[in-house]
Amino acid sequence: MRQKHRHWLFVLGTGILPLHTAHAENPTQPPATYYEWQVKDFAINEPLGGLTGNPEQGRAIAGDQHRGNCLACHKLPIPEEKFFGNLGPPLTGIASRQSVGMIRLHVVDQSRFNPETVMPGYYRPPQQLHRVARGLEGRTWLTAQEIEDVVAYLATLK
Amino acid sequence: MNIQSVFNLLALGLGLAAIPVFAQEPISGYDYLTPEMQAMQDDDFANPGMIAVEAGGSLFSTPGTNGKSCAACHGSEGSKLDPKHIARYPVYSERLKKPVTLRNQILLCRKNRMGGPPLKYGSEQALQLEAFVRRLAYGEPVDVDVSGAMAPYYESGKKLFHTRWGQVDIACHQCHDYHAGQTFRGQKLTQGQSNGFPVYRHTEGQVVGLQERITQCLTNLRAEPYPLNSKEYIDLEVYMNARSNGLKIETPGIRY
């Protein structure tokens, strides 16, 4: 019984906020190019840096607790995952409800919709961040390519 | 003024207006545990945090270099300590002109009255002594006075609690005031109350004090933590303990 209990807790334990040692970029490398973005009617209609997203990569990033970790707060149609949070709304069918440009803005900087949001800004301008851990200064959480991958994945959820 | 800025202002107004709604009754992290975990916390033989409490008890009766132990003044097992006073920490020290946390009081006593050797704030022994002493106030409601000279430290801690940190760019209150009880991945978010501290963290397999726990939170937010016993952490400890006023001390609590 005790063993079973511990296994359960281990699973829970792995679901805490993304771990400190993991980040999308290697801190020994200079930060990836930061692409400026424009908001129009609650949407970023142009892909960041003109990049093309890969939905399969995006699905992996959304499910990876060290990267997107979307399912920490959102229900997603990823059947192999057991634990989803409910801090945010379910994202199943999100592309039927919102344009791709709106989805992009949600991922890039949700505070444009709700200034008190608990959702991290995955591509908020790094100079707006406060007391970022040493080695992560000047970096966004996800790179522009990763953002486009996640957006491409979410765009398939109709 | 375009529609975007109108919307932002409106949303900001709603956000500000919503804050008082979240001024809620404090709920212990215990209430968010599963019944199995609650049972484990309640059973002194099953609660892993009791190991730290017992180790602290041994240190309490171990003499310092001048031959006196904590127990020499405070009684065997701390019998002469007043649980109601323990529940008031952090308290303002007129002599030091700043708030003193429970752990700092223990370390000061050891340095000034037992001839040392001094313990580091982050040492295991300091944590164990804190766990032992706070356990003496088990069941006592937290009772921090933040009036008078304590007020500026409380306000500073409150401001820090509402400051966005790190690459994740969220503040303590956003999870612990707005979303307590909701599910983050597989587990319930708590209000982040301090009445169980020092706590045994099941996911880490270790006992931690409040400041160590804040460091873990800031690290998860990909923020640069402050050093232990820094002014920022002491202020946060003042605010967070006062925020838990009225909750019964559970040391050692079990938390995820």
Q: A20 falls in which pLDDT band (50, 70, 90)?
A: very low
- 3 state SS of A99: coil
Q: Report yes or no on A69 lying in a domain.
A: yes
Domain boundaries, chain B: 23-255
pLDDT at A28: 67
Interface ipTM > 0.90? no
pLDDT at B8: 56
Mutation target vs A (from B176, B185, B203, B208; most A CBs, 10 A cutoff): B185
- Catalytic residue flag (residue B217): yes
Residues of A in contact with B204 (CB under 8 A): 13
Q: What class has domain B23-255?
A: mainly alpha
Q: A12 falls in which pLDDT band (50, 70, 90)?
A: very low
Which element (helix H / strand E) includes B125? helix B124-135
pLDDT at position B13 over 90: no
Residue B251 in contact with residue B53, Cβ under 8 Å?
A: yes
Q: Is A3 on the interface with B (CB under 8 A)?
A: no
Q: Do A15 and B12 touch (CB under 8 A)?
A: no
Q: Do B169 and A129 touch (CB under 8 A)?
A: yes
pLDDT at position A4 over 80: no
HSE (side-chain half, CA atoms, 13 Å) at A113: 17
Q: Report yes or no on A125 lying in a domain.
A: yes
Q: Which of B44, B75, B80, B45 is nearest to B60 (CA)?
A: B75
pLDDT at B186: 80
What is the C-alpha separation between A32 and A25, in angstroms, rounded?
Answer: 8
Mutation target vs A (from B16, B168, B212; most A CBs, 10 A cutoff): B168
Q: Do B222 and A18 touch (CB under 8 A)?
A: yes
Q: A19 falls in which pLDDT band (50, 70, 90)?
A: very low
Whole-model pTM: value is: 0.86
Q: B9 falls in which pLDDT band (50, 70, 90)?
A: low
- pLDDT: is B184 or A53 the higher one? A53
Q: Do A17 and B202 touch (CB under 8 A)?
A: no
pLDDT at position B74 over 60: yes
Write the pLDDT tens digit of every residue in B111-125: 999 998 899 999 999
What is the C-alpha separation between B57 and B68, in angstroms, rounded?
Answer: 15
Q: Is A75 on the interface with B (CB under 8 A)?
A: no
What is the C-alpha separation between A109 and A120, in angstroms, rounded?
Answer: 7
Q: A1 falls in which pLDDT band (50, 70, 90)?
A: very low
pLDDT at position B151 over 90: yes
pLDDT at position A9 over 70: no
pLDDT at A65: 84
Q: Is A22 on the interface with B (CB under 8 A)?
A: no
Q: Do B186 and A15 touch (CB under 8 A)?
A: yes
pLDDT at A104: 98
Task: State the average pLDDT over residues B198-215.
Answer: 95
Task: State the average pLDDT over residues B6-22.
Answer: 50
Task: State the average pLDDT over residues A10-33.
Answer: 52
Percent of chain B at pLDDT > 90 equals 86
pLDDT at A32: 84
Q: Is B147 on the interface with A (CB under 8 A)?
A: no
Task: State the average pLDDT over residues A70-85.
Answer: 92
pLDDT at position A102 over 80: yes
Q: Sign (positive/negative) of CA torsion A142, A145, A148, A154?
A: negative
pLDDT at A29: 76
Q: Which of A76, A90, A10 is nearest to B256 (CA)?
A: A10
Q: Report yes or no on A15 lying in a domain.
A: no
Q: Report yes or no on A68 lying in a domain.
A: yes
Q: What residue of B is the nearest CA neighbor of A67?
A: B168
- Least Cα separation, residue A54 to chain B (angstroms): 24
Residue B73 in contact with residue B28, Cβ under 8 Å?
A: no
Q: Do B166 and A141 touch (CB under 8 A)?
A: no
Write the pLDDT tens digit of every residue in B164-203: 999 999 999 999 999 999 998 888 999 999 999 999 999 8
Domain residue limits at A113? 32-154
Number of domains in chain A: 1
Q: Report yes or no on A11 lying in a domain.
A: no
Q: Do A134 and B224 touch (CB under 8 A)?
A: yes
Q: What residue of B is the nearest CA neighbor of A74?
A: B185
Helices A100-108, A144-154: inter-axial angle, 10-degree rounding: 130
pLDDT at A15: 37
Residues of A in contact with B221 (CB under 8 A): 17
What is the C-alpha separation between B154 and B188, in angstroms, rounded?
Answer: 27
- pLDDT: is B222 or B9 the higher one? B222
pLDDT at position A49 over 90: yes
Q: Report yes or no on A13 lying in a domain.
A: no
- 3 state SS of B95: coil
Q: Which residues contact A150 (CB under 8 A, 6 or more apart)?
A: A53, A58, A61, A62, A68, A70, A107, A122, A142
Q: Report yes or no on A3 lying in a domain.
A: no
- Least Cα separation, residue A33 to chain B (angstroms): 17
- 3 state SS of A106: helix
Q: State the distance between the two ends of chain B, measured CA to CA, in whole angstroms.
A: 47
Q: Report DSSP state, residue A79.
A: T
Q: Is B182 on the interface with A (CB under 8 A)?
A: yes
Domain holding A42: CATH number? Answer: 1.10.760.10
pLDDT at B122: 97
Tokens 């009880």 identify what position? B181
Q: Report DSSP state, residue B22.
A: G
Q: What is the mean pLDDT of chain A?
A: 85
Q: B4 falls in which pLDDT band (50, 70, 90)?
A: low
Q: What share of chain B is helix, strand, coil (3-state, %, to 5)?
A: 50, 10, 45
